[in-house]
Amino acid sequence: MNAHESYDVVVGLEVHIQLSTESKLFAADSTAFGKEPNSNVSVIALAHPGTLPKLNKKAVEYAIRMGLACNSEISRYCIFDRKNYFYPDLPKGFQTTQDRTPICIGGTVPIELKDGRETVVQLNRIHLEEDAGKSIHDDESEDSLIDLNRAGVPLIELVTEPCISSAEEAMTFLTEIRSMVRYLEICDGNMEQGSLRCDANISVKKKGDAELGRKVEVKNMNSIRNVGRAIKYEFERQVKLLESGEDIISETRLFDANTGTTSGMRTKEELNDYRYFPEPDLSPFTVYEEWLKQIETEMPLTPGKTREKLIQDYGLTKYDAGVLSAEKDVSRFFEEVCQETNHHKQVANWLIGPVKSILNEKDSNDLKMPLSSQQLADLVDSIEEGKVNKLVASKEVFPFLIQNPEKGVDDAIRELGLTQVSKDDISDVILKVLDQHPDKVKAYQNGKKNLIGMFMGEVMKETGGAADPKETNELLRKTLEEKN
């Protein structure tokens, strides 16, 4: 047996979610991304003596939204703590976080893997904390540069239990979390810009062993795919070490996206090294029932609730609902189109097919639909009413509307000369084609049924592709049978 088949990988994830508030967690500084370095700072962010922090209420509400979406218990009484360690890009020299009273306790996130298997990822906690600034290391210089714009930006850290058993599970979970924060409108989920970041705690153990192996924390992963790559690499590396009789060092490692490997950064600190103690400059806060109910009432639907709605209200399949609900803008657009037409399944097919192909070519953060909701509804209705066939609509009408967004569907069909041929006209064309190929008609009647494709091709050529394929096929077979 392969040595790797004797081991299991065990993964726990720490997901840092940058909240989309306009100001920082404890100061009024802007959180806008991409500003000039060190322009979004104030005396509070710079830790000037005598300055005092003030808690951002909206950040607390966003954290509670996430906890409710993850089925967590919401803490009613919370304090903040100081987490002490050297932080060159956080002027205070400590991070303000929640240690003993996280805003959200426990929780579950159901996920479905590619093979249809469903599992539940258990959460340990979700807590509020401030982000650090950014250190910039230039290979051409001996100095490091520090940008403090991000220092103090509000984060929630979502910590799972060590219950994830594969790279695929980890990637599926992160995909669901990214979708959740976008639906809840608490974060843009952009990993490339650092508003969603993930550290993975990875260990291996012999199959059947109850005791977990020594964990290694991997940082510096800026995409969901890279999290999966890091887990796979660490599994291979740690198994090889154990098989050769070496110990696993509990350490923090960095992931290199170019090579797909990890490298040691520092030995892992123990919790007592952080010297947590209550933050004396911030008063405790209480989450009252009335406030909690208000947050729950005003919460947007989660991806899971949206999937349920698409299935129940629009009769979609589980697969279609899953694809459409992956992005909030897409599911919202689907519902807008369905306000204009009753052909819900056909709308879903267009969004999953031609429209999705267009969106896949764009930047992942630019999900502007290529058509208006009215245009797509009219296009679907035109196909169902027999004005134009689906193939022609996809190949010609759809691209025409993208290039001419001010035009309507009827305008496009008329200007492209694609008005669908009537049933009587199709019958006339069929008779003409059959009269032109008497030998082929005889061969068909003698058993060469595959000639139907040739006849279809000739009819479509005569009609310039404007005949409805399904209707034409039925009429063609019927006419050939009548000629027998």
Range of weakest confidence among 35-39, 365-369, 397-401: 365-369
pLDDT recorded at residue 420: 62
When comparing pLDDT for 350 and 388, which is higher? 350
Query: Domain 423-483 class?
Result: mainly alpha
pLDDT at 265 over 90: no
The structural domains of the chain, with segments of one domain joined by +, span 3-291, 301-415, 423-483
pLDDT digits (tens, 9 = 90+) for 371-386: 999 999 999 999 888 7
Q: Are 213 and 10 in contact (CB under 8 A)?
A: yes
For the residues 69-74, what does the mean pLDDT come to? 97
pLDDT recorded at residue 243: 92
pLDDT digits (tens, 9 = 90+) for 266-317: 766 555 577 899 999 999 999 999 999 999 999 999 999 999 999 999 999 9
> Which residue, 463, 478, 474, 335, is CA-closest to 388?
463
- Which tokens in the block code for residue 214? 């020594």
pLDDT recorded at residue 258: 92
pLDDT recorded at residue 159: 98
| pTM score, whole prediction | 0.84
* Percent of all residues in the chain with a pLDDT value above 70, rounded to a whole number: 94
When comparing pLDDT for 61 and 327, which is higher? 61
- Which tokens in the block code for residue 86? 């050297």
Report helix, strand and coil shares of the chain as percent, to nearest 5: 40, 20, 40
pLDDT at 3 over 70: no
Residue type, 94: F
CA–CA distance, 438 with 36 (Å, rounded to integer): 78
CA–CA distance, 86 with 78 (Å, rounded to integer): 25
CA–CA distance, 457 with 326 (Å, rounded to integer): 39
Q: What is the DSSP string of 139-207?
A: TT-SSEEEE-TTTT-EEEEEEE-S-B-SHHHHHHHHHHHHHHHHHTTS----TTTTSEEEEEEEEEEET
pLDDT recorded at residue 154: 97
- Which tokens in the block code for residue 257? 């996206």
pLDDT digits (tens, 9 = 90+) for 161-186: 999 999 999 999 999 999 999 999 99
